[in-house]
Amino acid sequence: MFLTISGLAKSFGDNKVLKDINLELDKGEVLSIIGPSGSGKTTLLRCFNGLETPDKGRMSFENGLTIDFGEKASKQSIDTMRKKSAMVFQSYNLFPHKTVLENVIEGPVIVQKEKRANAVERAEALLEKVGLKEKKDFYPHQLSGGQQQRVGIARALALKPELMLFDEPTSALDPELIGEVLTVMKDLAKEKWTMIMVTHEIQFAGEISDQIVFMDGGYIVEHGPPQEVLKAPKQERTKQFLQRIL
């Protein structure tokens, strides 16, 4: 198992946002987290790369990294965990004053200390993969939202993560630009990248995911393959949510 999570919990003050979260993810699997607004989806995703730190629970990665959250969790192991993943944000989060190419090489060169020439070569290949090689010297504001998000994906891939995290990657996009981003994500799933995404694109999630997690009120209410959770949900809350949005 690539990642095993047990008993994960997180509060903001008195607000218990994640309650007893248990999950398993194999290498090469795609897991989608769906559920109503405020159910804790984004907070859970952010726990995977250390943008939020759970209050308790255990996260174990293959190769032996295990973190028991709480006061005794070691900062060093949280840092090691952080380096395993890369996040694609809803709002792209590109550096506005840097070109597309500079955005993509920033992490490898500054954080990972990769040689610039090497990082540029890889970045160009990644930009080609997302269909934007000819835009490498453009600035983010010269691109459409869909193009910016594809740069966001190339930038995350440039970190050579073991796990790709997507936080509602298409929800800021005009409808006609969503498809180009979903196509790139579908390609990554075919290439067997390990991916966790929070999404409102339920049909898309059903097509590419191995597992769907339905969250409500900080709990995982239902969890399984798309044909079960989306097509034959067992829980009333899942049924109601799907009826509302489909």
Which residues bind to ligand ADP, rule: CB under 6 A? 12, 15, 17, 35, 37-43
- Contacts by residues 202-211 (CB-CB < 8 Å, ≥ 24 positions apart): 202/34, 202/230, 202/242, 202/245, 202/246, 205/32, 205/34, 205/230, 206/230, 206/231, 208/30, 208/32, 209/30, 209/31, 209/32, 210/26, 210/29, 210/30, 210/31, 211/25, 211/29, 211/30, 211/31, 211/32
List beta partners, residue 215. 220
Among 119, 184, 122, 121, smallest CA distance to 147 is for 184
Identify which of residues 131 and 217 has a Cβ nearer to ligand ADP in the complex: 217
Q: How far is the CB of 87 from ligand ADP (least distance, A)?
A: 14
Nearer to ligand ADP, 109 or 212 (CB): 212
Furthest CA-CA distance within the chain: 55
| Minimum gap (Å) between residue 65 Cβ and ligand ADP | 24
* Cβ 45 to ligand ADP shortest distance, Å: 8
Closer of 103 and 199 to ligand ADP (Cβ): 199
Residue 37 or 243 having the CB closest to ligand ADP: 37
Eight-state DSSP code of residue 8: E
Nearer to ligand ADP, 40 or 169 (CB): 40
The size of the chain, in residues, is 246
168 versus 180: smaller Cβ distance to ligand ADP: 168
The answer to whether the CB of 187 falls within 8 A of the CB of 201 is no
| Closest approach of ligand ADP to the CB of residue 167, in Å | 8
- Shortest approach of ligand ADP to residue 35 CB, angstroms? 6
What is the smallest separation between the CB atom of 196 and ligand ADP, expressed in angstroms? Answer: 13
